[in-house]
Amino acid sequence: MTDLSTREGAAPAPADLRAAAAASLLASNRRRRLVRRWIAIGTLPLTLAALLFVGKILSMYAFAHQSITSYVADDYAGSESSARGQEFLNWFEPYKAPFNVGTALAGSEKLPEARAKLEESLGLATGVEVCSVRINLALVIERMGDAARADGDGAGAAELYGEALTITTEMPEECGSDEAEKQSSDPDRDMQQSEDDLEDRLKQKQQSEEQTPPEEEQPQEPDEQPSDDKLDDLKDKLEQGTQERDQQQGDDGGGSGTDKPW
């Protein structure tokens, strides 16, 4: 009787089938792991970029909120510090970081530094974003003019008022729109009313300084020189006082103390 397992074309044993299936499964798993590894490596930059994007957005909101909160609490140093945190990788709304820094510096009366930051912000702003920047910049320059006037520099004050007025009058027409109101850094401030009030105030201050004549220096009167008669009388009194003092010291047997001032 012939053994069927030795015949040509006979089916493999179950053990062989299981071994072949296991080897095929292992090879398939290795291929899948390799594919997943390369996918992970290929998408790693995108993943990191996405995490950085989300982190930047969250940090911007955090820094902006802290800056505003500190400013309202008159903590201008803290407001400036938080606003400077927005400057790192300043991709989104880039005008806001220097705007917040400049506003905080103005609160600390660092007016030249505040002006520089707000001018930087104005160069980065687009559309209705320029409205709030222009108003704050004009206000800072107005305060610089007030400081110059307090120091007696009327010409310098008038020049600064003129610069602030130019910034205000060149405000785009869109600054009176509802969209500009929504973009305002102060929701309680009416953009158009603030612009009108600022323009009127600057005109009055500039005209006042231009119309004020410069103070003329009063000629100093020469010191009155004493006459010859007065000089002679003073000399006689000095000599008489010296003689009386010497006579008193002689009567007392001579004094060893210093003379009192007279």
User: Which tens digit of pLDDT belongs to each residue from 64-94?
Assistant: 777 778 888 888 888 888 888 887 777 778 8
Q: Is there a single domain that holds both residue 170 and residue 147?
A: yes
Residue 86 lies in a domain: yes
Residue 130 is part of which domain span?
Answer: 126-213
Residue 32 lies in a domain: no
Alpha carbon of residue 115 to chain centroid: 9
Q: Is there a single domain that holds both residue 130 and residue 209?
A: yes
Whole-prediction pTM: 0.62
pLDDT at 100: 93
- % residues pLDDT > 90 (the chain): 31
Residue 258 has pLDDT above 70, yes or no: no
Residue 60 lies in a domain: yes
Q: Is there a single domain that holds both residue 98 and residue 132?
A: no
Would you place residue 202 in the very low, low, confident or very high pLDDT band (cuts 50, 70, 90)? very high
Angle at 212 between CA 206 and CA 215, to 5 degrees: 135
Q: Is there a single domain that holds both residue 105 and residue 145?
A: no
Q: Which are the contacts of 12, defined by CB distance < 8 A and separation ≥ 6?
A: none
Residue 107 lies in a domain: yes
pLDDT at 256: 35
Q: Is there a single domain that holds both residue 134 and residue 203?
A: yes
pLDDT at 201: 94
Q: Is there a single domain that holds both residue 140 and residue 207?
A: yes
> Could you tell me how many residues make up the chain?
262
Exposed, middle or buried, 227 (CB in 10 Å: 0-12/13-18/19+)?
exposed
pLDDT in tens, 119-138: 999 999 999 999 999 999 99
Provide the token pair at 210. Answer: 């231009």
Q: Is there a single domain that holds both residue 89 and residue 136?
A: no
Q: Is there a single domain that holds both residue 109 and residue 132?
A: no
Give the number of domains in the chain. Answer: 2
